[in-house]
Each structure stands twice: as C-alpha cells, then as structure tokens.
Amino acid sequence: MEKKLIKQLALPLYFRNVKNHSNFILNKVNEVALSLIDEFKDIKKFKKKFNFPVLILYGPSGSGKTHLAHIYKEITDAEFIKQFSSVNLNEAKLGKSFIFDDFDKITRLNENLFIHFFNEVFLNFGSLLIISSKPPSEIEFSLGDLKSRIRSCISTKIDLPDDDFLFSILVKELSDKKIFLNDKLCLYIIKRITRNYKSISLFAKTLDIISLEQKKKITLKQVKEAIKIIKAKT
C-alpha cells in the first residue's frame, strides 16, 4: 500500500482553474460529471442530446459536488438556491439558470410550482443543476409527474476519492503553501483524517498556520496537532 502510493506521486493530474476557487482536480470519480457540465456551454445541444437541460449530481458529503457546481456557475451564470419560491419561477421565465443545493433535504417543496418552474427552465433556455446526497430514485415526491420528470433527467454519482488520489491532493495542497513533507508523514496524515477534499484542504491550512506561528521545521508533533484541530472541526 505505502509503496504503491509513493510510486503514484508522479502521476500527472489535471488542474482546472475555477472562478473563486484555486483549482479543480480531474480524476476518475468526477470526470463524467465534469464532461456533462461542460456540455452546458451549448444549452440547445444539451437539450437535443438529453431532452431536459437538467443535471443531477449526487454523492456523499465531501466528494466535490459543490466544487463542480461552481464550474457550472462559471459556465451558465447560475444562481444558488436552497429554498424554492415563486421568485425563482419568474427568473426562470427570463432564461435564468439555477443550482438547487441539498435538494434531497428540502422539507417544504411546492411541487406544483416546481413543475411549472421545471417547464419554464426548459422553454426559456435556462438550465438547472440539482445537488443531492441521494440518487433521484430515492427522493420522494407526492406528485407522480414530478417524480417521473426528475427520474428522466440525466444524473451521475460522485464518490469519495481513494487513498491514492487523497495522497496526491494532500501533496498538492501542501506544496501550494510551500510545505514539503516526506512520504511517510503524508501517509500518516491521510490514514487519520476524514476521507474528503474539505478535510485535506483544512489540514493544509491548519498546518500552515501552525508552521507560521511556531516558526519551526514541521515534525510529527505539529502534524498531530493539526490533525487534532481539524478533527474537532469536522
């Protein structure tokens, strides 16, 4: 395991610049989602290919769904929404695009209004990105028409990154902050923090702060301190 990870340090990674984010790292768990989001550059073509200008991204917390949503926002100038209202319906009539975050967690969705919203997005060349922790088949609706409509949209799952990829992300995050740890320390870290992008980023920021405050060469002691801090936050 350790030898395999160390060997893969030299694997080429594709970094994509994103507005308001430092970068996006393309890998096997998100490449399909990214390619679908790129297709929103031509809404007419997307509708012809997939029928509805709607994409559903689902997967566990920390898998990178929000990061992908920002790429979609950059392409479509979409608006983030968490509570749907008639205001959004009126915006859809003007061709606005939307990102519906935490869709599976909404408690009071006006399903009749949302059906109209869905139709307006389609008719006026807007688009919609739905983010959910559950697949469409597991989201319950009262209206059969809405359930059918949602399940007919294209969807794709994003999984958490594996150890090999977490290792590479950690090295990249640390190197951006001019922190260079040996392979054993990196392996020690990824085995002890939560397996997602957020934890990796938070760890790198925390270790950087500790390093600047203590003005000492980073050792296992500082690494343990950073891990303890982020575990209390996540």
Q: What residue numbers bound the domain in which 128 lies?
A: 28-157
**Where do runs of H (alpha helix) occur along the chain?**
2-7, 31-38, 43-50, 65-76, 86-93, 111-123, 144-152, 163-176, 183-190, 197-214, 220-233
The predicted structure's pLDDT at residue 1: 45
Q: Within a 10 A sphere around the Cβ of 37, how many other Cβ atoms?
A: 22
The number of domains in the chain is: 2
Checking if the pLDDT of 181 tops 60, the result is yes
The four Cα atoms 210, 213, 214, 219 give a dihedral, to 10 degrees, of 20
In a domain, 184, yes or no: yes
pLDDT tens digits, residue range 198-230?
Answer: 888 899 999 999 988 888 789 999 999 999 998
For residue 231, give the amino acid letter: K
- Which value, in Å, is the radius of gyration of the alpha carbons in the chain? 21
CB 71 within 8 A of CB 131: no
Q: What pLDDT sits at residue 217?
A: 84
pLDDT at 25 (0 to 100): 67
Q: Which residue has the tokens 């970094």?
A: 15
Question: Do 113 and 181 fall within a single domain?
Answer: no
**Closest residue by Cα to residue 124 from 147, 160, 164, 96:** 96
> Could you tell me the two tokens for 71?
């790429």
Same domain (yes/no): 41, 152: yes
What CATH number corresponds to the domain at position 190? Answer: 1.10.8
Q: With CA atoms as reference, report the closest residue to 134 among 186, 65, 59.
A: 59
What local confidence, expressed as pLDDT, does residue 4 receive? 44
147 shares its domain with 191 = no
139 and 95: one domain? yes
What rounded mean pLDDT belongs to the chain? 85
pLDDT in tens, 92-106: 999 999 999 999 988
**Residues 16, 172: Cα–Cα separation, whole Å:** 13
Given a cut of 90, whether residue 164 has pLDDT beyond it is no
Q: What is the pLDDT of residue 7?
A: 36
Question: The tokens 């559903």 sit on which residue?
Answer: 56
* Structural domain contains residue 14: no
Coil, helix or strand at residue 142 = coil
Judge contact between 56 and 139, C-beta under 8 A: no
Indicate whether 16 belongs to any domain: no
- Asked if residue 224 belongs to a domain, the reply is yes
- The CA distance from 75 to 41, in Å, is 6
Same domain, 165 and 213: yes
* Average pLDDT of the residues in 24-30: 72
64 and 134 inside one domain? yes
β-partners of residue 25 are 15
Residue 180 lies in a domain: yes
Task: State the average pLDDT over residues 5-24.
Answer: 45
% the chain with pLDDT above 70: 88
Mean pLDDT along residues 186-193: 92
Give domain status of residue 170, yes or no: yes
What are 155's strand-pairing partners? 56
Last residue of a domain, one of 117, 138, 157: 157
